[in-house]
Amino acid sequence: MPSYTARELERETGVDRRTIAYYVQEGLLPRVGRRGRRTRYPKLFRDRLLFIQRVRDAEEEGHVSAVSLKDIRKVFERVPPALIARVADGRIAVTPELVSEPSTAFRTPGMRRAMLRERWEGEERAMSPMRGPPALDAPLFSPGAPAEHEDWGEDDAGPREGDMVAHDEGPAYSRMPGPPAEEPEPYASGPSDAEPPLEEAPRRSAPRRRAPQREVDVPPVYSRLPERHESGAAEELALASDLRRLEEVARRRIKESPRSRDTWTRIDVSPHLVLSARGIGEEDVALVERVRRAMKRVIWRGR
């Protein structure tokens, strides 16, 4: 049974050591007891790494839908190693039945577009309270900076950082009118030493206070708009920084592993906007998701 060193695995499969270590962490490859320069890995490592590459190639050619690492791990659990080796050597093609479970084996492009459209509309509904300026008689709003890690389309139990929060300056409750006061009985005869009840004293209604007139030339609701502009500029700078980071990661991966030049990652920003990045691995999923969310915020701000 042949075995391979780490350098030989890189040369045979085109996968760099960092990605191999990540696959071990995700359970796609078995763990080894001791690792070093002279550590040799079984042929199972080589077959599984090539199998993953074959699956990615099939995705780019449109033969199968997107397959996550979790799904590939399930394939390794139910498919015999001999069949994995034959696929790795190119003797068997990658098919939807091979990499998908029966319940999700067939998924048409229309179904995928419908799922993306539903997700996009859910995020639009979540952002709809921020559309347009509020009315002049509405309570004062204070926009905050958008949260760095947020989920569009999911309803939270309370306001999140970045949402517009209304400050209610009115009373927490209103006083209900009490029962009418009973009228005092008239005096039976003549004056008396007893003082008359307080209710008989002449009543004079207190003057009603007028609410101070508000100047409408410059509505106070617009006084915080420059802060939104400043936050928008900060978001655009953060997006530019993340895109530059994504380019640096892709350039380094392609330099370390020339074969990753043919691997593209699909980033669905909206049902009508899709980005593709070359040489991006599963370990960069956090950076890719941050770029996707930042682009959605910038697009929404320009609508």
Of 84, 107, 130, the last residue of a domain is 107
Amino acid at 119: R
The better pLDDT of the pair 241, 128 is held by 241
Does 259 fall in a domain?
yes
Does 184 fall in a domain?
no
For tokens 């509904």, name the residue. 125
Please give the distance of CA 162 from its chain centroid, rounded to a whole number: 14
Q: How far apart are the first and last CA of the chain?
A: 61
∠ Cα 113 56 297 (to 5°): 45
pLDDT digits (tens, 9 = 90+) for 71-93: 999 999 999 999 999 999 999 99
Amino acid at 11: R
Up-side HSE of residue 232: CA atoms within 13 Å toward CB?
Answer: 11
The better pLDDT of the pair 221, 112 is held by 112
Give the list of residues 6+ apart from residue 210 with CB closer than 8 angstroms, or none: none
The better pLDDT of the pair 153, 298 is held by 298
Residue 139 binned pLDDT confidence (cut-offs 50, 70, 90): very low
Does 140 fall in a domain?
no
Task: Give the pLDDT confidence score for residue 216 in this predicted structure.
Answer: 47
- Quote the CA–CA distance of 284 and 255 in Å, as a whole number: 16
Does 277 fall in a domain?
yes
Owning domain of residue 246:
224-301
pLDDT digits (tens, 9 = 90+) for 198-211: 444 455 555 566 65
Spatial CA neighbour of 66 closest among 58, 75, 74: 58
Does 294 fall in a domain?
yes
Check: CB of residue 15 under 8 Å from CB of residue 55: no
User: What total of structural domains would you count in the chain?
Assistant: 2
Does 233 fall in a domain?
yes
The three-state secondary structure class of 266 is: strand
The three-state secondary structure class of 168 is: coil
Mean pLDDT is lowest, of 17-21, 34-38, 56-60, 108-112, for 108-112
Does 58 fall in a domain?
yes
Up-side HSE of residue 102: CA atoms within 13 Å toward CB?
Answer: 1
Is residue 167 classed exposed, middle or buried when 0-12, 13-18 and 19+ CB atoms within 10 A define those classes? exposed
pTM passes above 0.85:
no
Of 82, 107, 132, the last residue of a domain is 107
Task: Give the pLDDT confidence score for residue 170 in this predicted structure.
Answer: 45
Of 78, 107, 136, the last residue of a domain is 107
Number of other CB atoms surrounding residue 225 within 10 Å: 11
Does 240 fall in a domain?
yes
DSSP one-letter code for 273:
E
